[in-house]
Amino acid sequence: MELIDTNGDDKRFITLCGELDDYLNKIVGGKKQREKYDQYNTCTDIRDVLLIIENGQAVGCGSFKRYDEYTAEIKRVFIRKECRGKGYAKYLMRALEEKARTAGYLKAILETGEPLKPAITLYRSLGYEIIENYGPYANMPESVCMAKTL
């Protein structure tokens, strides 16, 4: 397993984001159910991306972007199904946090959904706490927003 630092224009990242969207559509019952989230899940403005490479293939991704001067928003965390259970997501999150800390951010925030119980469990195990829904997710009761001091 190898970790690669790249950006939001990386075709491997874009491909994995498409797979993440397909996965989320299946969980919530179709693309129509997620339309209101589409505008918040683009690769636009994402400059900080990490990819997990296994046997020459990108099998996981995660990124963050500036939310405000002191806060990085974690975005697009995904591990392909066949690679889950290997600790990659935890490794990726820790690497994203370190990269954000090094960039000067003091806090990380993220949004996930109620149906994504394994993701919520992962984030809690890393020290994230549920917070009031922020920004665009404020009026989306199915969203679960979390934060951690870096």
Q: pLDDT at position 70, please?
A: 98
Q: Between 3 and 45, whose confidence is greater?
A: 3
User: What integer pLDDT is reported at residue 39 of this predicted model?
Assistant: 47
Residue boundaries of the structural domains of the chain: 2-149
Task: Dump pLDDT digits (tens) for 32-83.
Answer: 444 544 444 556 678 999 999 999 999 999 999 999 999 999 999 999 999 9
Cβ atoms within 10 Å, residue 84: 13
What's the predicted TM-score (pTM) here?
0.89
CATH of domain 2-149: 3.40.630.30
Give per-residue pLDDT as tens, 72-130: 999 999 999 999 999 999 999 999 999 999 999 999 999 998 889 999 999 999 999 99
